[in-house]
Structure 1
Amino acid sequence: MQNLNLPLIQKVGGFTVENLSNVSCFRFAIPTAVRFSKRKFAISSSIWDGKSSRNINVSVRSQYLTPEEQQYQQQKFPSHSSNFHSQPEKMPPRVYVGYTIYKGKAALTVEPRPPEFTPLDSGAFKLSKEGFVMLQFAPASGVRQYDWSRKQVFSLSVTEIGNVLSLGARDSFEFFHDPYKGKSDEGKVRKVLKVEPLPDGHGHFFNLSVQNKLINSDESIYIPITKAEFAVLVSSFNFIVPYLLGWHTFASSTKPEDPTRTNRSGAELEWNR
């Protein structure tokens, strides 16, 4: 059925009437003639009040748009929902955040890096690489000045972040990285991150040593992290770990009516026993 949009506000019997001053509950309109045009039609009606009749004219305009008009409106007023579905690769702008600790001999910046996903033939996405946290150590070049051109970086994996989260006041750990492991330059760059408790037990030393045989350099940068600063790191790591694993994308894409929820493996069905 075609929806009709009547240009006037007052309506009688489903039609808009130009003048209803003489129409009451005892009067009714009877259409007597209809004249169609391309986009509208006119109706000649008679109002009967039980004694006499009176002719009135009713103009009705259709809401239907021709294909040419629909195409023009879609070009002039594009739909946000259609753009979203036709361009799923369009993502919000990336935002960079971090937490920086400044000390007399060095500064440390901690920044998260997002996970990576691979599209599947089914249209879904699969996690291809976990996110990580980047540690950037910069030596001091003066009073409250730091030489970021000489910075050394160390990436913490999700598991290594777990070591930081489980670190006690008197605990320590050591991580070793070779950026060229499995490549032709394997063993030529050696990075060692040591975390040790401060003598008073109210914080930890973060010490990064980088031995680079490719450029014949050997540098060590350390920075003391207080108990309060370490608490901020722990809180930040606890928050960001699910995002580094990509679990937030799974949670946002799962709906109660999602048909994939019914396709479960045998291991998952054990909870229905």
Structure 2
Amino acid sequence: MMAEILMILMLGLGLELSSEEEKRKFKHYKMFKLSRVLHLTTTSRHRLLEVLSSRNVEVGDFLRDRRDFTYSAGISTATNNYAAKGYASDRIFAPYTVYKGKAAFSLSPCLPTFTKLDSGTVVVDRRGSMMITFMHSIGERKYDWEKRQRFALSATEVGSLITMGSQDSSEFFHDPSMLSSNAGQVRKSLSIKPNANSNGYFVSLTVVNNLLNTKDYFSVPVTTAEFAVMKTACSFALPHIMGWDQITNQQSRGTVGLQQKGGSQVLDLEWEK
């Protein structure tokens, strides 16, 4: 230990290490310091030293930038930390979002949930959908997520979107109280119509709430390229929102992977904020 202290003092005074043995010992000392920063095991420490030596990398360079290095290391463990706090570690957000001047919308799949019957048969408990989430613009590159509105496309409605041509239009109506005495109190309508130049579409959502006496309207222009991405993404996601991917993968896994009631996707229901 005294030898390491003397070498540190020599460097602090600007003195050079006189022998290769002293340089080697000091490099190992810096390696030990680095391992303490990164909480490495003995095996990992030796392995890292081998890698650094083979690439002629100075350990001191890593020590000087240890804050950046530690931050990079932290990224790799983010998923584990996230799961340890009680959140769903398997929930992945990868929406396709179209941003325009007055509004924006994102498109993402909501997978179905399954339940197992007493007979052992697994059936769909809640069907999946393609969720479109609309947001108003509240400034340059800023959108109001708190006042968002959702529209969940069913498998058949997704089929209508996929088969649309350049001159075709589609309109869908949703009412959570349909066929009840409260029908029409809250309703949503989604329309997809070609623009005048036939080089894109307008995707619009109208939400009428007679209970709160409110009416919300969103309209987002979409280019042909953006609409092509939407159609392709919907085509890819369609078997998944129907749950058919669970059937085709059942043999390889031996059982259907269940997403139970109350799972992470419940928060993405169309009628919830």
Q: What TM-score do the two structures reach when normalised by structure 2? A: 0.58
2:247, 2:96 → 1: CA distance?
A: 27
8 A contact 1:176–1:193 mirrored in 2 = yes
Q: Does 1:202 align with 2:223?
A: no
8 A contact 1:97–1:112 mirrored in 2 = no
Give the SS at the match of 1:218.
strand
Q: Give the counterpart of 1:165 among 152, 162, 165.
A: 162
> What residue identity is the alignment partner of 1:118?
T
Determine the structure 1 residue equivalent to 2:237: 240
Give the SS at the match of 2:146.
helix
Post-superposition shift, 1:194? 1.1
Give the SS at the match of 1:208.
strand
Q: Give the counterpart of 1:142 among 126, 139, 143.
A: 139
1:165, 1:183 → 2: CA distance?
A: 31
> What residue identity is the alignment partner of 2:201?
H
> What residue identity is the alignment partner of 2:95?
G
Q: Does 1:175 align with 2:172?
A: yes
Determine the structure 2 residue equivalent to 1:221: 218
8 A contact 1:107–1:139 mirrored in 2 = yes
8 A contact 1:134–1:154 mirrored in 2 = yes
Gaps of at least 5 residues in structure 1 are 1-90, 259-273
1:243, 1:149 → 2: CA distance?
A: 28
Determine the structure 1 residue equivalent to 2:47: none
8 A contact 1:206–1:225 mirrored in 2 = yes
The correspondence of residues 71-220 of structure 1 with structure 2, limited to 5 A, is: 93-183=90-180, 185-220=182-217
Identical residues among aligned pairs (%): 40
User: When you count strand as a share of all residues, which structure comes out higher?
Assistant: 1
> How many correspondences in the alignment?
168
2:218, 2:237 → 1: CA distance?
A: 26
Deviations 1:71-126 (A, max 9, x none): xxxxxxxxxxxxxxxxxxxx972323211110001010112101121202233311
Q: What TM-score do the two structures reach when normalised by structure 1? A: 0.58
State the Cα RMSD in Å: 2.2
Post-superposition shift, 1:183? 4.7
Tell me which stretches of 4 or more aligned residues in structure 1 moved more than 6 Å.
Answer: none
> What residue identity is the alignment partner of 2:170?
F
User: When you count helix as a share of all residues, which structure comes out higher?
Assistant: 2
